Amino acid sequence: MLNVAEICTATEALGSGIRAVVWVQGCPFHCRGCLAPDWIPDRPAQQMSPHELAAALLSDSRVTGLTFSGGEPMAQAAELAATARVVRAVKEVTLICFTGFRLEELTDRPAAAELLAEVDVLIDGRYVAARNDDRGLRGSANQRVHHLTDRLRGFDFTGAPRRAELHVNDRDVLLVGVPPSGLTAAWSTIGRGGM
């Protein structure tokens, strides 16, 4: 079972095309300034099987890609790999995965290798607030973009302006994307009830 913090069934803020996104619960890194501190603790969230998660990620027929984030996806690598395979048995999609691990740290981990076999683009490295250059899909300039396949070669992961979306439902507001600095400051104000 996967421990899922949140799902967004359609966004244009986290990669090319319309993407479905899953953020998993739990991260070992505790990066200072993390945009999603509620998803760091390794605590129970929404429990889903790979088939249940795949169905949720495919609920919008416009989806052309998946993005896995967190929390830390590599902490649930085998389950996410299974999810990717279930989705791809139904529809051909691209897959972007964020991780705080460096690619070199993952080579000896069988579950991570299983997920990496499904990933088209891996964005690796811990978030460093002082190195946030306000560009592209990386949170900070120390993070690297690895094209594990050629499927997303035309997308600018490092230099394009950042995009973010606010998704509102009846219970909360979800900030989706790697937000530009001005939006991050405004979001912090909203979170404190000031806006």
pLDDT digits (tens, 9 = 90+) for 19-58: 999 999 999 999 998 888 999 999 999 999 999 999 999 9
Residue with tokens 């984030």: 69
Q: Which domain holds residue 83?
A: 2-160
At 78, which CATH number? 3.20.20.70
> 0.85 cut: is pTM over it?
yes
For the chain, residues with pLDDT lower than 70 are 182-195
Is 9 a domain residue?
yes
Is 195 a domain residue?
no
Number of domains in the chain: 1
Is 170 a domain residue?
no
Is 60 a domain residue?
yes
